[in-house]
Structure 1
Amino acid sequence: MGPSTATIEVAGERDDPPVRLFCTDSGGDGPPLLLLHGLAGHCGEWDALAARFTATHRVVAFDARGSGASTRRPGDVSRAAHVRDVRAVVDRFGLDAGRLTLVGQSMGGVTALLTAAAHPELVRALVLIEAGPDGPSPSLPGTIGAWLDSWPVRSPTPGRRPRSSAGERRAAPGRRVWSPAQVACTRASTGTSWSPRSRRTPTATTGTRGTRCAARCWWYGPARGC
């Protein structure tokens, strides 16, 4: 049998609506292996790796909230929300607690690390790819923003700004489109109230809280008074 797919629902906290997570179960025998993709990625990036490991592991992957076929505009994009999603996937697929290996790339590596810290009883091993325990560089949000700005943006009608089905104004050719989830992630990682309308590259906060605030927001999500 080939991989199977399922969509699970994760309840929101406070007044946030539930989030749908698109999951791929590649099957396999042995201890569970949960694969977490990076920023702007999707679980399909793991397909070739998953196929190789099904001989020795039970392999599952999912699209993170705000990515792929999962809910694209979640109300909560904090680090804690991503950890809750991992726990929900583990429970939904019955992955054995204490035998689980988390494999995370970039943002997925951060989620894997935080999940192991919050739920040590679940995780046997971590595999971190382009990720580690250090906080981000203060220049990281600007670097990521510049990288995303380099992507081409097409407009179906030259000289006009198309609108989405929801009436959202999209960017003109060559201009970046910021979704609400992307704006929320950028604000969380920089510890600011940055807006795309400012037309400035998002950077980490300065002043009395400085980069400590930006790093804390990146790892744990924005806190009150941040």
Structure 2
Amino acid sequence: MPDFESAPGVTLHYTVDDFTDPWTPAPTVILLHGLAESGEAFRAFVPYLARRHRVVRLDNRGYGRSPALPADHPWRFDSLVADVVALIRHLGIERAHLVGGKIGGTIALATAARHPELVGRLAVLGGPASLTGMITRTPAWRAQIAAEGVRPWVRASNAGRLGTRMSPAQLQWWEDLMSGTAASTLEGFLQMVPTVDVTAEVERIRAPTLVVTTTGSGLGSADEVRAWQERIPDSRLVVLENDSYHVAASDPDETAALVRDFLAE
């Protein structure tokens, strides 16, 4: 369960799952999680990917077992991209496949656009190219977290995030996972979120790209997603029938299988 320093004062934790044959060189795939999560959000993906890939699940700065950050931490989206680049270099590899969910997908898009030499294949799972529309949600979210704490906010917002098909046990698991996030991390992070927009950058992506969304995503319609996906030269879009916007959580087996087959091409 290693840690490394990606920037002065910023330590990142990551988990490695590797069930490949020791005598066969295996590519590395880095999984990037979304808001109020950790690498544990991709636990269902490990059985699908780790037989043929070295699977690295990063806890983004401030999340999971990466140390919580103070509310006044100077959050910049560019720093999150730099963290991924630092991880690739720390692992001592030339390039990696990137798989990102929600804003983790946005981070993956930006990394592939800005550092094409580091990215082999790219999978974006419910990740929008622009989060500027979140300005209508984040002030109320911050106010609720400040007044009531993280868990009530998670419980109140998970209906749109996870959709209506999850069992009570599934919803409880995700609530428990997300509620472990420090309120101080969320306060700063949520101020940054509506500033993120990489739409103008996606056409610079050279990695083969898989984009997965749902028919009822609250982060953008399938047509809105297609509008930026089609600007990525070698890309395809898969739309799953669901009303969640966190497709890696609501449809983990189908999504993980799509990623596995895509990485094997």
Match of 2:5 in 1: 9
Structure 1 residue 185 and structure 2 residue 176: aligned? Answer: no
Q: Give, in whole Å, the separation in 1 of the partners of 2:94 and 2:31.
A: 15
Q: Give, in whole Å, the separation in 2 of the partners of 1:181 and 1:91.
A: 25
Q: Give, in whole Å, the separation in 1 of the partners of 2:28 and 2:66.
A: 22
TM-score, normalised to structure 1, is: 0.62
Which residues in structure 2 correspond to 1:27-38 (within 5 Å)? Answer: 27-29=18-20, 30-38=26-34
Percent of aligned positions with the same letter in both sequences? 29
Match of 1:218 in 2: 196
The SS at the match of 1:151 is helix
Q: What runs of 5+ residues in structure 1 fail to find an aligned partner?
A: 13-17, 154-176, 191-216, 221-226
Q: Give, in whole Å, the separation in 2 of the partners of 1:152 and 1:180.
A: 15
For the Cα contact (< 8 Å) 1:42–1:68, is it kept in 2?
yes
Equivalent residue for 2:12, pick from 3, 8, 21: 21
Q: Which moved more, 1:137-146 or 1:46-55?
A: 137-146
The SS at the match of 1:152 is helix
The SS at the match of 1:181 is helix
Structure 1 residue 93 and structure 2 residue 94: aligned? Answer: no
Q: Give, in whole Å, the separation in 1 of the partners of 2:10 and 2:67.
A: 6
Structure 1 residue 140, shift from structure 2 partner: 3.8
Q: In the superposition, relative to structure 1, how do residues 101 and 179 fare at CA in structure 2: closer, same or farther (>3 Å)?
A: same
AA at the equivalent of 2:190? T
> Would you identify which runs of 4 or more consecutive aligned residues in structure 1 move more than 4 Å?
142-150
- How many residue pairs get aligned? The number is 160
TM-score, normalised to structure 2, is: 0.53
Structure 1 residue 49, shift from structure 2 partner: 1.0
Q: Give, in whole Å, the separation in 2 of the partners of 1:7 and 1:91.
A: 13
Q: Give, in whole Å, the separation in 2 of the partners of 1:28 and 1:88.
A: 24
For the Cα contact (< 8 Å) 2:68–2:182, is it kept in 1?
no
Structure 1 residue 139 and structure 2 residue 136: aligned? Answer: yes
Structure exhibiting the larger radius of gyration computed from Cα positions:
1
Structure 1 residue 91, shift from structure 2 partner: 1.3
The SS at the match of 2:122 is strand
Structure 1 residue 22, shift from structure 2 partner: 0.9
Q: Give, in whole Å, the separation in 2 of the partners of 1:109 and 1:144.
A: 21
Q: Per chain length, whose mean CA-contact separation is higher, i.e. which structure has more relative contact order (CA < 8 Å, sep 6+)?
A: 2
